[in-house]
Amino acid sequence: MTLDTVKHAEQTPEAEQPWAELGLKQDEYERIREILGRRPTGAELAMYSVMWSEHCSYKSSKVHLKQFGEKAPENDAMLVGIGENAGVVDVGQGYAVTFKVESHNHPSYIEPYQGAATGVGGIVRDILAMGARPVAVMDPLRFGAADHPDTKRVLPGVVAGIGGYGNCLGLPNIGGEAVFDPCYQGNPLVNALCVGVMKHEDIHLAKASGAGNKVILYGARTGGDGIGGVSVLASETFTDKGPTKRPAVQVGDPFQEKLLIECTLEIFKEKLVTGIQDLGGAGLSCATSELASAGSGGMRVELDTVPLRDATLSPEEILMSESQERMCAIVEPRHVDRFMEICEKWDVIATVIGEVTDGERLEIFWHGEQIVDVPPGTVAHEGPTYHRPYARPDWQDALQADDAGRLPRPRTAEELRDQVLTLVAHPNQAAKSWITDQYDRFVQGNTVLAQPEDSGMVRIDEETNLGVAVATDGNGRYAKLDPYTGAQLALAEAYRNVAASGAQPLAVSDCLNFGSPEDPAVMWQFAEATRGLADACQTLGTPVTGGNVSLYNQTGDTAIHPTPVVAVLGVIDDITRRTPIAFADEGHLVYLLGDTREELGGSAWSQAVHEHLGGLPPKVDLERERLLAEILISASRDGMIDAAHDLSDGGLIQALVESCLRGGKGARVVVPDGLDPFVFLFSESAGRALVAVPRSEELRFTDMCGARGLPATRIGVVDGETVEVQGQFALSLAELREAHEGTIPALLS
């Protein structure tokens, strides 16, 4: 068996290489040869192919993502921007918060439990790598039709995986989404978000500098996980011998990750590392090339020293393995002993695998022979960039012309009432407690708000009551009708949710889930959505701090709805002023904030009652969103409201029912003059919220809204045991609860 060393590669320039099997294009392979001035070795080919993949290089999306930086609003809070493992935001009192949302869609379809579990594991390590203690997770999810048999396989597995991993790490799950639509059949979306907290001085970066500093790999042993692809290489290179089966599925060990977190935080506390990187996609290839290229450039690694779970792994496979629960740290020699002591304390295996050099190459050795000699930047950052063609699909006009306003509407009060029940019982609007009750939301003892509140909120300082809130939103139906507006609506909704719970929105992370970039229609959706999001972030003053792109979510020619999931992070100075959604106090007045227009395109009503998707999504008015947020935040700070709930899918009636059920109190409302009852209840106009105002505060509150120019309409009062729309219908809380809470358990048990 010949090892494909650098020397060997130089001597055998014409050797056939399986670049196509590894997913590289002819010109990409040529480019690698050009960079190196020779053919790559097998190990180099492995590194380039994985790092230049869509997943790691963002080659189709990069040109569009640039806007997030170019249009980033001035924001003093931004401490670390796009480009690191996660962005970092200043939240005051010396604290910094980091958060990011990522996808693990494809693995979760193949193996729901492990796919989802390792998705949580991956994003938690990104947050940890910034120097932060992870304090909460969230999980925006999309599944196929609720009654499809495969959903019964995928959903329980995904939920158990997220819970199994997150619960075992001790991270409260404070929110997420669960949306069903046939477009996600075969392409479920499993996005995971993690929030972490640190002091400013604890921010760490993925950077290898200082010649002589040690490269330490620590955490789990390396196995053959997630390297289905490279086995091609192994078999090409070592025809006679070599392992055959390599699992494409990664199995997570949350216990190991919990040890990794505590161990790493203790290492940070003693300031023992100069740079750190988690191992995620592309494993060591990614960690070493990124660390080296972000530092001075030189690094030397002895690959034989990597602790293995499977002794038969080839060097290529070790470089590409995606074994979970590993980290890579750059440590000054004088700190190495202490670093090892801490790892030993936590039963974490740690090994010096190399050192930073004063050269400019990443050099990797195997049994004393050099198998990699590359400029690390070319691996990590100089992957190809595509300007993929995009074009507005020809069906877009017809879709938008198919206006939901023309759908038959309820003709009688009785029908209106029935459709309310249909709406709140539809899987997308139904209570998700079957899912969220499998997640620990109390652990760490800092949870202020969690699902089903508008945002998840955690306390970050016990003395001062400083807290942060996060909401994630995304509506693929809106985005399908108009991706530009759909992305903005996702942002607007998350922003509104954060404000509704009393926190000031500060920054954004996003996960862009789309179909194949090779389809110009999908690429157009992507271009429009990124442009829409970047523009809206600029207007709202909330910069994108990082995120993730997931492409190829499609079956055959059919792509999922474009699904930009947007997370907004906010800060609240005093968590005792947080605003819950519950209408809990009899006699408090219910106000509707904002304007209601007839906007039914993409609405929950059109789906729940007519299985229809067509027309235009609701209009976006970002200035109005900002004003609404200001009012919600001031009102909470000054104690003028004691409940608030944003209006989004399902419109006013959905929000009203949720607030009533949550508080265990009914409400009597009247349809405002000039509004059609149906439109009043079901329209999904953006920029609206419901609030409960104690009578004693009414004047102060309406004065404030009036002075700032926000329409505030008194529509009723918290009262009794029914939700009553006067002159139309009354539904008892019991009946509503049964409809709202019965759906998901019935589907899944």
Ligand X SMILES: Nc1ncnc2c1ncn2[C@@H]1O[C@H](COP(=O)(O)OP(=O)(O)O)[C@@H](O)[C@H]1O
d(CA 629, CA 504): 8
* Residue nearest ligand X, CB atom distance: 546
Q: 559 and 114 in contact (C-beta within 8 Å)?
A: no
Active-site position among 55, 426, 612, 645 = 55
DSSP H/E element including 608: helix 604-610
For residue 689, the partner it binds in another protein, ligand X, Mg ion, none, with Cβ less than 5 to 8 A by kind, is none
Q: Residue length, the chain?
A: 749
224 binds another protein (CB under 8 A): yes
Q: 22 and 229 in contact (C-beta within 8 Å)?
A: yes
Q: Contacts with another protein in 105-144 (CB under 8 A)?
A: 110-111, 114
68 binds ligand X (CB under 6 A): yes
CB of 181 to another protein, least distance (A): 25
d(CA 702, CA 591): 9
Pairing status of strand 667-669 against strand 722-725: parallel
Taking CB under 8 A as the criterion, the residue among 254, 474, 547, 617 binding another protein is 254
User: Which range of residues in 76-84, 311-319, 535-543, 706-714 is near ligand X by CB under 6 A?
Assistant: 76-84
584: left (phi over 0), alpha (psi -120 to 50) or beta: alpha
d(CA 382, CA 648): 42
Taking CB under 5 A as the criterion, the residue among 5, 61, 85, 636 binding Mg ion is 85
CB of 694 to ligand X, least distance (A): 41
Identify which of residues 172 and 594 has a Cβ nearer to another protein in the complex: 172
For residue 83, the partner it binds in another protein, Mg ion, ligand X, none, with Cβ less than 5 to 8 A by kind, is ligand X
Identify which of residues 194 and 450 has a Cβ nearer to Mg ion in the complex: 194
Identify which of residues 543 and 615 has a Cβ nearer to ligand X in the complex: 543
User: Which range of residues in 11-19, 22-30, 317-325, 540-548 is near ligand X by CB under 6 A?
Assistant: 540-548
Could you count the other beta carbons within 10 Å of the beta carbon of residue 347? 10
Asked if 55 is an active-site residue, the reply is yes
CB of 452 to ligand X, least distance (A): 27
Tokens 């988690």 locate to 278
Give Cβ neighbours of residue 746 (< 8 Å, ≥ 6 apart). Answer: none
Taking CB under 6 A as the criterion, the residue among 44, 302, 510, 646 binding ligand X is 510
Residue 643 β-bridge partners: 692
Token code pair at residue 561: 């709805």
User: Which range of residues in 45-53, 385-393, 546-554, 612-620 is near ligand X by CB under 6 A?
Assistant: 546-554
d(CA 270, CA 158): 37
Active-site position among 64, 104, 204, 561 = 104
Whether cis (ω within 30° of 0) applies to the bond prior to 452 is yes
648 binds ligand X (CB under 6 A): no
549 binds ligand X (CB under 6 A): yes
Tokens 């979970």 locate to 324
44 binds Mg ion (CB under 5 A): no
What is the signed CA dihedral for 263, 265, 268, 269, rounded to 10 degrees? Answer: -110
d(CA 618, CA 603): 9
440 binds another protein (CB under 8 A): yes
CB of 715 to Mg ion, least distance (A): 47
d(CA 308, CA 318): 8
83 binds ligand X (CB under 6 A): yes
Identify which of residues 269 and 309 has a Cβ nearer to another protein in the complex: 309
Identify which of residues 84 and 453 has a Cβ nearer to ligand X in the complex: 84
For residue 254, the partner it binds in ligand X, Mg ion, another protein, none, with Cβ less than 5 to 8 A by kind, is another protein
Asked if 387 is an active-site residue, the reply is no
126 binds Mg ion (CB under 5 A): yes
Token code pair at residue 699: 């004047």
Could you count the other beta carbons within 10 Å of the beta carbon of residue 509? 28
In eight-state DSSP terms, residue 225 is: T
x/- contact string, 257-286, with ligand X (CB under 6 A)? -----------------------x------
Taking CB under 6 A as the criterion, the residue among 188, 456, 532, 546 binding ligand X is 546
User: Which range of residues in 82-90, 349-357, 441-449, 708-716 is near ligand X by CB under 6 A?
Assistant: 82-90
Q: 438 and 451 in contact (C-beta within 8 Å)?
A: no
CA 705, chain centre distance (Å): 34
Distances (CA, A) of 249 to 116, 187, 321, 349: 11, 17, 11, 23
Q: 50 and 375 in contact (C-beta within 8 Å)?
A: no
Taking CB under 8 A as the criterion, the residue among 40, 81, 119, 164 binding another protein is 164
Q: Contacts with ligand X in 48-67 (CB under 6 A)?
A: 56, 65
Please work out the total of residues on this chain that contact ligand X, with binding judged by CB under 6 A.
Answer: 17
Q: What are phi and psi of 491, to 5 degrees?
A: -65, -45
x/- contact string, 91-130, with ligand X (CB under 6 A)? ---------x-------------------------x----
DSSP 229-281: GGHHHHHHH-SSS------SS----HHHHHHHHHHHHHHHHTT--SEEEE-BT
659 binds Mg ion (CB under 5 A): no
225 binds another protein (CB under 8 A): yes
Chain residues in the site for another protein (CB under 8 A): 110-111, 114, 160, 163-164, 167-170, 220, 223-225, 245-247, 249-251, 253-256, 258-259, 309-310, 323-324, 346-347, 436-448, 459, 462, 575-576, 578
> Which of the residues are catalytic?
55, 104
